[in-house]
């Protein structure tokens, strides 16, 4: 399994993820969330990272 990381996400977060699973950085934002991978059964799992200001506004 490889986790796809959007090119605008912090490199520190990617470095932490890389300690456990391989990552690949590319432009995901036009179509997908900030982090994406394919599950064992073939469906996509996506996670969108939000900053506190985005949540409170």
Q: What is the pLDDT of residues 1-52, one digit of tens each?
A: 999 999 999 999 999 999 999 999 999 988 999 999 999 999 999 999 998 8
Mapped onto helix, strand or coil, the DSSP state of residue 44 is strand
Q: Angle at CA 13, nearest 5°, toward 9 and 15?
A: 115
Q: What is the pLDDT of residues 33-46, one digit of tens each?
A: 999 999 999 999 99
pLDDT of residue 40: 94
pLDDT of residue 57: 82
Asked whether residue 53 carries a pLDDT value surpassing 90, the answer given is no
pLDDT of residue 32: 94
Spatial separation of the C-alpha atoms in residues 51 and 46, rounded to whole Å: 17
């Amino acid at each position: 399994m490889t986790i796809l990381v959007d090119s605008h996400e912090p490199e520190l977060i990617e470095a932490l993820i890389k300690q456990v699973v391989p990552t690949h950085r590319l432009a995901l934002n036009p179509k997908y969330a900030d982090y994406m991978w394919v599950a064992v059964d073939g469906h996509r799992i996506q996670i969108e990272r939000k900053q506190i200001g985005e949540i409170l506004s």
